[in-house]
Amino acid sequence: MRTLFTLLFILLTSYTQSQNIFIRLNGNKAELRQTSGNLIRYIGNNDVVFCDINNEQNYILITTTSGKVELRSSNNNLIRYIGNNNIINARWSGNEIILKTKSGKIEIRTVNNNLIRII
């Protein structure tokens, strides 16, 4: 019986991880949607100017009107703020985060907000 529950858990986990989702900016709201177009949930607050989701579809970057970048889980839980309050947009590049600042510089950071380099 226990192996049946384990197998069922593995099947459900692999199904939810293989589910294709995308994030859409609608006005100042970020919407997490299935590829069929169904709304899953709203992400962040009503001050979003740019948003991006990583390849594993478990982390979302939200750039706000105040220049803050929020790292959120796909469940909309705030994990941490990334960078300073002078960011124009933030994108994923593999497992690294690319931040474009208002001064025109590019910062490359880890998910833990460690600065890798400035270009």
Q: Please report, for the domain that includes residue 114, its CATH number.
A: 2.130.10.10
User: How much is the pLDDT for 104?
Assistant: 95
Q: Is 51 exposed, middle or buried (0-12, 13-18, 19+ CB in 10 A)?
A: buried
The answer, yes or no, to whether residue 3 has pLDDT greater than 70, is no
Helix (H/G/I), strand (E/B), else coil: 88: strand
Number of DSSP helices (H) and strands (E) in the chain, helices first: 1, 11
User: How much is the pLDDT for 96?
Assistant: 97
Question: How far, CA to CA in Å, does 33 sit from each of 30, 41, 43, 73, 86?
Answer: 10, 7, 10, 14, 28
User: How much is the pLDDT for 7?
Assistant: 38
100-112 average pLDDT score: 96
Total of domains in the chain: 1
Greatest CA separation found in the chain? Answer: 60
Task: Place 51 in a pLDDT band, splitting at 50, 70 and 90.
Answer: very high
36-45 average pLDDT score: 93
For residue 43, the enclosing domain spans 2-118
The answer, yes or no, to whether residue 6 has pLDDT greater than 60, is no
